Amino acid sequence: MFIDEAQIYIRAGKGGDGAVSFRREKYIPKGGPDGGDGGKGGDIIIKVDNYSHGLAEYNREKNFLAQNGQNGMGQKKTGRGGEDLILKMPAGTQIYDSKGKLLKDLVDEGEECVIAKGGIGGWGNQHFATSIKQAPKWSKTGLKGESMKINLVLKTIADVGLIGLPNAGKSTLLSVLSNAQPKIADYPFTTLEPNLGAVKNIERNIIIADIPGLIEGASAGKGLGDKFLRHIERTRILVHLIDANSDDFLGDYNIIRKELKDFSKELTKKKEIIVINKADCVDKNDLKLKIDLLKKHRKYPVVISAATHENLEKLIKTILSRLEN
């Protein structure tokens, strides 16, 4: 199951305590204090890993604790520092504190941040010796590591977002353009989660996201609701698919555009390519009449058939052109 939200508790490691120790060696009758310092507690680090898909791991496991630092030892030996805990998350993960403040927005492969710092180790009694107190019998305890509840929100990062009503053929198009293998069937809501695929081109690779769940009323929670609308926010351009079998191209187009606007006006400002899919399934003359109606409203579509691969090269060239511009 695709999970794009999670709340977890994190706690960095506590610093080790300083040691109370005195030098005890043969032939050295007046050994001074030699208690070592405690080791630093481990940090909690969040790192982008593109092999991660979704936040399901953080929906199952809720508590993440880094290792504590080791206590100091005699002979001025410092305790070993606690190991850092690295949490791997997909690109596009946003990290919020419990009050809703954005702490970090992770977008690039390999990017990482320390989200909770480990506590500093305490001083051993060697630091507290003075001319008056030559044998201090106290040390300093290590500091606690930072801890907090954080909210994780994933927004898919892609060059292209495929949008359209259910059964417009988004998953089929993604499967023939890329290495993705989404579930495909002839009924609405086959796709229940965003799917990513990479189109390998001579000029550049294109990352495409299939965004499911858009129907009339989606922005208000109908159907799959607005659950996946935020994944469109990261995409650079939109490819808007319309089923060639539809009796109302313009109506289908306007339904999706209204949902984008109701969710965020910024989405309607993105570059868009209108694509008529399943051209192999309809009468050519009937198809021409419907396309002419779109053109009257200054909507100029690319006509394709994902199933037969008709005009896919033209679509890829159009996508590349829009991305370059």
The number of angstroms, rounded, from the C-alpha of 321 to the middle of its chain's C-alpha atoms is 27
Mean local confidence (pLDDT), 168-190: 71
- What does the pLDDT read at residue 31? 75
- What does the pLDDT read at residue 214? 72
Instruction: Name the burial class of residue 26, with classes exposed (0-12), middle (13-18) and buried (19+) by CB atoms within 10 angstroms of its CB.
Output: exposed
Measure Cα distances from 24 to 29, 38, 96 in Å: 8, 21, 52
Most confident segment among 3-17, 28-42, 289-303: 3-17
Listed residue (157, 154, 149) closest to 227, CA to CA: 154
Mean local confidence (pLDDT), 113-118: 96
d(CA 51, CA 32): 55
Note every long-range contact of 287-291, with CB atoms under 8 Å and residues 24 or more positions apart, other chains counting.
287/244, 290/244, 290/246, 290/249, 291/249
Q: Is the pLDDT of residue 274 over 70?
A: yes
Least confident piece of the model among 97-111, 167-181, 222-236: 222-236
168 vs 101, residue with greater confidence: 101
- What does the pLDDT read at residue 196? 79
- What does the pLDDT read at residue 4? 84
Do the domains 160-324 and 1-154 match in fold?
no
The tens digit of pLDDT for each residue in 187-208 reads 555 555 677 788 877 677 888 8
Listed residue (100, 65, 58) closest to 82, CA to CA: 65
Which class does domain 1-154 fall in?
mainly beta
d(CA 125, CA 130): 11
Task: Write out the chain in H/E/C secondary structure.
Answer: CCCCEEEEEEECCCCCCCCCCECCECCECCCCECCCCCCCCCCEEEEECCCCCCCHHHHHCCEEECCCCCCCECCCECCCCCCCEEEEECCCEEEEECCCCEEEEECCCCCEEEEECCCCCCCCHHHHCCCCCCCCCCCCCCCCCCEEEEEEEECCCCCEEEECCCCCCHHHHHHHHCCCCCCCCCCCCCCCCCEEEEEECCCCEEEEEECCCCCCCHHHCCCCCCCCHHHHCCCCEEEEEEECCCCCHHHHHHHHHHHHHHHCHHHHHCEEEEEEECHHHCCHHHHHHHHHHHHHCCCCCEECECCCCECHHHHHHHHHHHHHC
* Percent residues over pLDDT 70 in the chain: 89
Task: Provide the residue ranges of all domains of the chain, joining segments of one domain with +.
Answer: 1-154, 160-324
Tokens of 181: 């293998």
d(CA 146, CA 150): 12
- What does the pLDDT read at residue 42? 98
The tens digit of pLDDT for each residue in 135-154 reads 899 999 999 999 999 999 99
The CATH-assigned architecture of domain 160-324 is: 3-Layer(aba) Sandwich (3.40)
Residue 216 binned pLDDT confidence (cut-offs 50, 70, 90)? low
